Amino acid sequence: MTDEYPIVRITDVSKSYHRGSYVVPVLSDITFDIARGEFLAIMGPSGSGKSTLLNLIAGIDRVDAGSITVGGQDITAMNETELALWRADNVGFIFQFYNLIPVLTAYENVELPLHLTGLSRAARREHVQTALAMVNLTERMDHYPSQLSGGEQQRVAIARAIVVDPAILVADEPTGDLDRASAHDVLDLMERLNTELGKTIIMVTHDPHAAERAHSMKHLEKGVFNSV
């Protein structure tokens, strides 16, 4: 399902954090491409910089040096407002702890990103119902997160991630808080999104079983890739 033009191009990216007077380097001169339709797993020990790399690709953190181009757009040159608009249109997020808004129902959580589009109420409803049907949670659309299991909450989060039909899906430890069965379901779902809908998925994980589902894998250690 890949084509010859990379959807993500990362060029000489470096990133460090300041801890008081200390500067802690996290990523050093990272350069690689992610092809359209790829399902990439990024693995590595804690503190290796994999979540930071994911955040940079998703436009929720800033590089110190280098550039990142997603779908032909240089996101490192965008200001905060432009980045927010870009994220709303182009990136779907799947988090370890689901990060649903507890006061909103499953339906309302999935609908959240659509409020930033110009879609009518009826069009939004159609999109939400389609997304919830894909994750097989139509029956539970009126339930609040606290009324759903961890696996169901993660499926709602996936529905929220895909409802705007983004160019890429980024997943940070998507199975990290799930039992084996639920993790299996979530990974099945992600695989389907990749194979059936051609979604580009970039997943950070500690879990080798999860990483096995990806089509390619990168190991990050101390801010650099040590093998592919």
Partner 1 sequence: MILPKMIMKNAFRRRVRTILTITAMGIAILAFGLLRTVLTAWYSAVDASSASRLVTRSSVSIIFPLPLAYHEKIGHVSGVSRVSYGSWFGGIYISEKNFFANFAVEPASYLDLYPEFVVPPGQKADFLRDRRGFIAGKKLADRFGWRLGDIVTLKGTIYPGDWDFVLRGIYTGLNRTVDETQFFFHWDYLNEGVRKAYPAMADEVGFFMIGVKDPNLSAEVAREIDAMFANSRAETLTESERAFIMGFISMSEAIVMVIRIVSLLVIVIILAVVANTMAMTTRERIGEYAVLKTLGYRGSHIGVIIMGEALLITLSGCLLGIAVTFPMVRFFTTELGQYFPVFFVEPLTIWLDFGVAILVGAAAAVIPTRQAVRIRIADGLRRIG
Q: Give contact residues for partner 1 (rule: CB under 8 A).
A: 52, 55, 58, 60-61, 80-81, 84-85, 87-89, 93, 95-97, 99, 101-104, 108, 111-113, 115-116, 160, 177
Q: How far is the CB of 1 from partner 1 (least distance, A)?
A: 26
85 vs 133, beta carbon nearer partner 1? 85
Q: Give φ, ψ of 54 to 5 degrees.
A: -60, -45
Given the DSSP bridges, would you call strands 73-74 and 65-70 parallel, antiparallel or unpaired? antiparallel
Q: How far is the CB of 9 from partner 1 (least distance, A)?
A: 22
Distance, CA of 156 to CA of 151 (rounded, Å): 9
Q: How far is the CB of 113 from partner 1 (least distance, A)?
A: 5
Q: How far is the CB of 132 from partner 1 (least distance, A)?
A: 17
Q: What angle do CA 143, 109, 90 make, to 5 degrees?
A: 150
Distance, CA of 52 to CA of 123 (rounded, Å): 35
28 vs 55, beta carbon nearer partner 1? 55
Distance, CA of 61 to CA of 69 (rounded, Å): 14
16 vs 99, beta carbon nearer partner 1? 99
178 three-class SS: coil
Indicate the burial class of 106 (C-beta count within 10 angstroms; 0-12, 13-18, 19 or more). buried
35 vs 112, beta carbon nearer partner 1? 112
Q: Give φ, ψ of 144 to 5 degrees.
A: -85, 160
Q: How far is the CB of 3 from partner 1 (least distance, A)?
A: 27
62 vs 192, beta carbon nearer partner 1? 62
